Structure 1
């Protein structure tokens, strides 16, 4: 098995505690609301939302995928960190055993926050080259999710 990891940052004008609550703690409810064309639903299959929780994400008509099963690896509310892995679904294809995401949200001194992200692709068999367009597509999807949540929070200043 090979592992390929990519790191990137996403800046947000939203304070760390508010974006963490919306984008991480309430993502199961909020994502289908703010991205209905991409995400139809998120259902908890087992667990309470903490480590070990298994979730099934059903994608909307605008997605090339049907479903993805996620496993929460770590959730630290005090340090604003969240780790999860995609463990089943079409996105893995025949190349990946799992894809893991680590997110840490850091407060910026002048307001807002930054998502420090790492995506690790665990390959079946030997390490493979991951096309740059696939890497960029993953980054763009995460950025689009964050932007949709930010837009919702700006439009609804008393939520979260």
Structure 2
């Protein structure tokens, strides 16, 4: 799927949730590999430029585990995350080539995976890591056969 097709899908009102892949590192901004976000819109602004509108809000806690310390502190050392440096925006826009395939940048997440993320987010604090919680879910519901 090309970015311009993703824009159309988002414009149709379909909830499009994606997981970022390695190539998002080419974009300026918060998105990093492993993070998740909702695609809320997009448009072609010039023949070779598209603006992808995203919302990280729903995945805020989940995404924090993927934040790199690649922002510089007062001593010129990369010790801060985008959030700590004040560059995190829950709703953001990225410039993309509308004709480029999304595959190297994003993977669309199906509804079952999204339901897991929502269930995890609703857990009371303090909560285990997402991976630990998923492992417990597999043990309880798959290996032990409990529902």
TM value normalised by structure 1: 0.25
More helix by share: 2
Greater Rg by CA: 2
TM value normalised by structure 2: 0.27
More strand by share: 1
